[in-house]
Structure 1
Amino acid sequence: MLYDKSFEKDNCGFGLIAHIEGEPSHKVVRTAIHGLARMQHRGAILADGKTGDGCGLLLQKPDRFFRYIAETQGWSLARNYSVGMLFLNNDPEKAAISRKIIEEEVLRETLSVVGWREVPINRDVLGEVALSSLPVIEQLFINAPA
């Protein structure tokens, strides 16, 4: 059997909040966070009171933020660059293998690796369940040719 309706899943909700003119706005972010907080009614938090189900915000970080981060690391970003968000294994050897493979693929695409940055995490706000599966979260800065 290729299809079984018992495998169908439904989402409780989806919200889209944006500035109609595309202007960055802290008010939009505050409104989105307020909306997420209202979704607790659907059991989005485990019994530990901290571990969520993965709902969150997708937003565009400003160019000047990434340029500032690069500057503090002593990196030079090209006019065309990107930042990848990666979730790596907690085993340092496995994480190193993943980084190597990713860097090889970046180079194969005629891009250049600028550097890796460990993303700051506030572990104090995470529940036991979330902490038990928390990956290493890093950003990869990549320059592209003009």
Structure 2
Amino acid sequence: GDGAGVLVQLPDRFFREEMASQGVELPKPGHYAVGHVFMPRDPELQAHIEGIIAEVAQLEGQPLLGFRDVPVDNSSLSKAPDIAASEPVQRQVFLGRGAEMESDDDYERRLYILRKVISGRIHEETKGVDNGFYVVSMSSRT
């Protein structure tokens, strides 16, 4: 996405190729999901948040398959230092579909819950102070 609110189907072939380059074989379409997340710029905080994502995914029964850096073109951003410093790091998290998920709708509901639990944990840790983390989307469809 380009931030303009354009909603598209998961580009399965593209993600397969991207994740294969990391040694990750994605399950068949509909049996994996992609979460697009904004992360803080601090690498230690990013690692901590990724740990929370992994922990919550395991607790919710959805296997963590991997993460992917999203390439960005920020050449049109203002050169003002505060603008670049506030730009989030964009990452994607890939999650498998737990064995107990009987339907696509059940899986989408579980992903919604997973997204809310992750966000809630981070909100609780920061006592509501923005640290740059935000789940933009998490779905097996879009």
1:124 counterpart SS class: coil
Q: May I ask how many residue pairs the two structures share in their alignment? A: 95
Q: Which residue of 1 aligns with 2:17?
A: 68
Match of 2:52 in 1: 101
The alignment-based identity, stated in percent, is 38
* Structure number with higher relative contact order (C-alpha < 8 Å, ≥ 6 residues apart): 2
Please give the secondary structure, in 2, of the residue aligned with 1:139. Answer: strand
The separation in 2 between residues aligned to 1:108 and 1:68, in whole angstroms, is 28
Partner of 1:117: 68
In the aligned structure 2, how far is the partner of 1:95 from the partner of 1:59?
Answer: 27
Does 1:92 pair with 2:5?
A: no
Cα distance change of structure 1 residues 121 and 84 upon mapping to structure 2, 3 Å threshold: same
Pair member with larger Rg? 1
Give how far 1:56 is off.
4.1
1:102 maps to a residue whose letter is I
Match of 2:77 among 126, 130, 139: 126
RMSD (Å) for aligned C-alpha atoms: 2.3
Q: Counterpart of 1:125 in 2: which secondary structure?
A: coil
Q: Which residue of 2 aligns with 1:78?
A: 27
Task: Provide the rounded CA distance (Å) in 1 between the counterparts of 2:77 and 2:16.
Answer: 29
Gap regions ≥5 residues in structure 1: 1-32, 34-53
Aligned counterparts of 1:93 and 1:127: Cα–Cα separation in 2: 26
Q: Measure the CA separation in 2 of the matches of 1:122 and 1:60.
A: 22
Residue segments in structure 2 that go unaligned for 5+ positions in a row? 100-142
